[in-house]
Structure 1
Amino acid sequence: MRIVDVNEFYSPTGGGVRTYLDRKMGIMADLGHELTVIAPALESAVEDRPGGGRIIWVKAPPLILDRNYCIFVKDEPIWELLDQLRPDIVETSSPWRPGWTVAEWKGDALKVFFAHGDQIGAYPQRWLDSVATPIQVEQAFAWYTRYCNRFLAHYDVLVTNGPALAKRFRRRGMKVDASMPLGIERSWFSPDLRDEKLRVSLLEQCGLPPEGHLLLGLGRHHKEKRWPLVIDAVESAATDLPVGLILIGDGPSRGKLEERIAGSPHIRIFRPVYDRVRLSRIMASCDALIHGSDAEPFGLVASEALASGLPLIGPDEGGFAELADPLFAETYAARDALSAAEAIRRMFAREPGIVRAAARAAAARVRSDRDHTIELMAYYKGLLESRRTGAAAGAAIA
């Protein structure tokens, strides 16, 4: 199959979408398929990838709020490229200009909107969570759902990156045809990388003895990650537990987070660790991952932590909750720091050997990005076969 992804979130400087698509491109080539990404950049260029696939950069203006990204403003250059490439399937994931560009293209490829995010969950629900419930916010922003349904009417299928997002969309009156959970590059992660000396060293940096409890917070320093909630929860639990927290990451909220923990003796912030082997050792050597975001539709960090044999603590909503088996996880009421503190206490009141054994057993079952790509290609192949035979697209995949 020849697939083209018109992707406004593929940045020249990196990011999660780029990581996902680069891996997907390589796996698709191994499976005998071809992926071309059309992405905006400051200058037009074509970048071929070893083993198959390519990036076609289309000249576009930068995004004012984040100059690591550019935005599409014209349909015609993308339509011309799609006409030349003649894909079997064209994907996009942006609800803004690309959503309409692909919708209004006159080609005969199957059109797939692959949803990676939830704009309502990431922004208005977070902004208004002190004055309104998530359902009330969804109702107030029903106009946005109607807007999405207008361009989605021109697509053959709507696919989400996991069941959490599918549930939200269906609740709002959107027709989701399939849920295709993402996966991780599992080869980097293993419970066998646990290093007790490293764990003791990290506890020392948090001012705690070897018998203390070491929590890991991993991810971008951004408001949607709710790190202040995590910090509040850890400080509350630390009044009666020897518990510390290391935060690894960077982002626009870093300065405020540093100010917030200035008086916290057992919490430390570290810059991102780009050495994958070292990061994997750190993950395996902590005692539990703690997560704050309820807006993320897929629990990428939670999956990586679980593949490292790490027990999980996180909110009872969003992508994290889909992974949180009680055998190795504790959940708390989303957006509630006191509930999160109680989840920390419950985790460390459990027998650590039993919880870690359950996490180790689950590590081998964590979904890989190859699993995801194989399932997605099979689904797309079925859609094309249905079109050729004139059959219906088939029942929705939950």
Structure 2
Amino acid sequence: MRIVDVNEFYSPTGGGVRTYIDRKMAIMADLGHELICIACGKEDRVEERVGGGKIIYVKSPGLPFDKNYGLFSKAEPIWRWLDELDPDVVETSSVWRPAWIVGRWQGRALKSFFMHNDNIAAYPMRWLEGLASPERIEAGCFIYARYTNRLLRFYDTVVTNGPALEKRLKKRGVRIDTAMTLGIERSHFSPDLRDERLRAAMLRQLDLPANGHLLLGMGRHHGEKRWPMVVDAVERAGERLPIGLMLLGTGPESKRIEARIAGSPHIKMFRPVYNRPELARIIASCDALIHGSEAEPFGLVPSEAMASGLPLIVPDTGGCAEIADPLTSETFRPRDAADAARAIERLFAREPAILRKAAVVAAGRVRTDREHAVDLMDYYADRIAEKAGRAPRLVA
């Protein structure tokens, strides 16, 4: 099959979406399929990938508050590419301009809307926090659900990236046909990559002794990630335990976070690490990963941390909660720094040897991106067969 993903969220300097697309492209080529991504770019150009697949950049205006990303402005260039490529499946995942561009294209392809995020949880829930309860905000956003269902009528199937988002959207009355839980490049991450000398060096950077606790906070610096709340929680727990926090990432909130942690010897911010082997060593050499976003639909970074043998400290709702193993994780009430601090303390009160052994076992159970790709391609093959009036494949 040839799949074309019209994706406004793909950027060479992006985070989870870039990682997902790049890996999916390589896996699909290995499986005998082809993935082509049409993305926003500063100029029109085509980037061929070794082994198969490509990124087609369409010149687009930049996102006003984050120049790493762009916005599709015109439908015609995308329609011309879709006509030329003649895909078997065309995917998109933005409910704004791309949804209508793909939805109104007249090609033969199966049209799949792949839900990767929850805009209500990421924006109104955060903007109106403290002014109204989550229930009232949900109720007030019913028009958004109606709008979403109106555009979804153009699509043959609607997919989410996991059960957390499926449950959340179905509760609002949004059409969802199936959940295709994401996975990670598990072979790239391993508890065996833990390096005690590297861990000791990182603790020294945070002005902590060798018996200190090293927390990792990794991800884009965006309001929905709730890094200030995470910092508050670590500082509270640090009043009773020797705890440090390494923040790896960048984004529109970086300056705000930098100002918040200014003067803290035990919390420091570092640029993203794009070298995957180096990043895998860093993750495996920390003691736990802390994540603050209850709006996270899947939890790519926490999955990578689990595959590296790290325990998790995450909100008790959302995608992170869905993947967290109770034997190796602690959860806290969303948006509650005090409860997050208690979760940190509970985790480090556990017997270290038992916790480490359980985390190593959990690492081997993390779902792989190849498993996700195989399941998704099988699902698309069935939907294509149904659309053509043929019987779907029988699964033993």
User: What's the TM-score, normalizing by structure 1?
Assistant: 0.94
Task: Give the direction of change, closer, same or farther, for the CA distance of 1:80–1:393 in structure 2 (3 Å limit).
Answer: farther
Of residues 238-247 and 345-354 in structure 1, the stretch that sits farther from structure 2 once superposed is 238-247
Checking the alignment, whether the CA contact within 8 Å between 1:12 and 1:69 is kept in structure 2 is no
Q: Give the distance between the partners of 2:390 and 2:348, measured in 1 at CA.
A: 57
Q: Give the distance between the partners of 2:45 and 2:383, measured in 1 at CA.
A: 32
Q: Give the distance between the partners of 2:60 and 2:272, measured in 1 at CA.
A: 30
Task: Give the direction of change, closer, same or farther, for the CA distance of 1:282–1:392 in structure 2 (3 Å limit).
Answer: closer
Instruction: Report the equivalent of 2:149.
Output: 149
Does 2:48 correspond to 1:44?
no
- What code does the residue aligned with 2:298 have? F
Counterparts of 1:288-303 in structure 2, within 5 Å, are 288-303=288-303
Does 2:98 correspond to 1:92?
no
Query: Alpha-carbon deviation of 1:195?
Result: 1.7
Query: Alpha-carbon deviation of 1:13?
Result: 4.3
Instruction: Report the equivalent of 2:81.
Output: 81
Counterparts of 1:19-168 in structure 2, within 5 Å, are 19-168=19-168
Of residues 173-182 and 16-25 in structure 1, the stretch that sits farther from structure 2 once superposed is 16-25
- What code does the residue aligned with 1:181 have? T
- What code does the residue aligned with 2:389 have? T
Instruction: Report the equivalent of 1:307.
Output: 307
Checking the alignment, whether the CA contact within 8 Å between 1:193 and 1:280 is kept in structure 2 is yes
Checking the alignment, whether the CA contact within 8 Å between 1:296 and 1:319 is kept in structure 2 is yes
Query: Alpha-carbon deviation of 1:25?
Result: 1.3
Q: Give the distance between the partners of 2:217 and 2:13, measured in 1 at CA.
A: 24
- What code does the residue aligned with 2:345 have? R
Checking the alignment, whether the CA contact within 8 Å between 1:218 and 1:248 is kept in structure 2 is yes
Task: Give the direction of change, closer, same or farther, for the CA distance of 1:243–1:12 in structure 2 (3 Å limit).
Answer: closer
Checking the alignment, whether the CA contact within 8 Å between 1:386 and 1:393 is kept in structure 2 is no
Counterparts of 1:193-342 in structure 2, within 5 Å, are 193-342=193-342
Q: Give the distance between the partners of 1:146 and 1:218, measured in 2 at CA.
A: 34
Q: Give the distance between the partners of 1:277 and 1:30, measured in 2 at CA.
A: 22
Of residues 254-263 and 164-173 in structure 1, the stretch that sits farther from structure 2 once superposed is 254-263
Q: Give the distance between the partners of 1:353 and 1:333, measured in 2 at CA.
A: 27
Q: Give the distance between the partners of 2:313 and 2:321, measured in 1 at CA.
A: 10
Checking the alignment, whether the CA contact within 8 Å between 2:25 and 2:52 is kept in structure 1 is yes
Q: Give the distance between the partners of 1:102 and 1:282, measured in 2 at CA.
A: 40
Task: Give the direction of change, closer, same or farther, for the CA distance of 1:167–1:4 in structure 2 (3 Å limit).
Answer: same
- What code does the residue aligned with 2:359 have? A
Q: Deviation per CA, 1:184-204: give whole Å up to 9, x if none.
A: 122221111112222222223
Unpaired stretches in structure 2, ≥5 consecutive residues: none
Q: Give the distance between the partners of 2:231 and 2:268, measured in 1 at CA.
A: 10
Task: Give the direction of change, closer, same or farther, for the CA distance of 1:276–1:4 in structure 2 (3 Å limit).
Answer: closer
Unpaired stretches in structure 1, ≥5 consecutive residues: none
Partner of 1:389, secondary structure, is coil
Task: Give the direction of change, closer, same or farther, for the CA distance of 1:41–1:281 in structure 2 (3 Å limit).
Answer: closer
Checking the alignment, whether the CA contact within 8 Å between 2:25 and 2:53 is kept in structure 1 is yes
Query: Alpha-carbon deviation of 1:61?
Result: 2.8
Task: Give the direction of change, closer, same or farther, for the CA distance of 1:129–1:20 in structure 2 (3 Å limit).
Answer: same
Of residues 257-266 and 295-304 in structure 1, the stretch that sits farther from structure 2 once superposed is 257-266
- What code does the residue aligned with 2:260 have? R
- What code does the residue aligned with 1:97 have? R
User: What's the TM-score, normalizing by structure 2?
Assistant: 0.94
Instruction: Report the equivalent of 1:187.
Output: 187
Aligned residues: 394
Task: Give the direction of change, closer, same or farther, for the CA distance of 1:392–1:274 in structure 2 (3 Å limit).
Answer: closer
- What code does the residue aligned with 1:271 have? R
Partner of 2:244, secondary structure, is strand
Q: Give the distance between the partners of 2:259 and 2:58, measured in 1 at CA.
A: 41
Of residues 178-187 and 264-273 in structure 1, the stretch that sits farther from structure 2 once superposed is 264-273
Task: Give the direction of change, closer, same or farther, for the CA distance of 1:266–1:77 in structure 2 (3 Å limit).
Answer: closer
- What code does the residue aligned with 2:44 have? S
Query: Alpha-carbon deviation of 1:14?
Result: 4.2
Checking the alignment, whether the CA contact within 8 Å between 1:235 and 1:264 is kept in structure 2 is no
Q: Deviation per CA, 1:335-376: give whole Å up to 9, x if none.
A: 101100110111111111111111100111111211111111
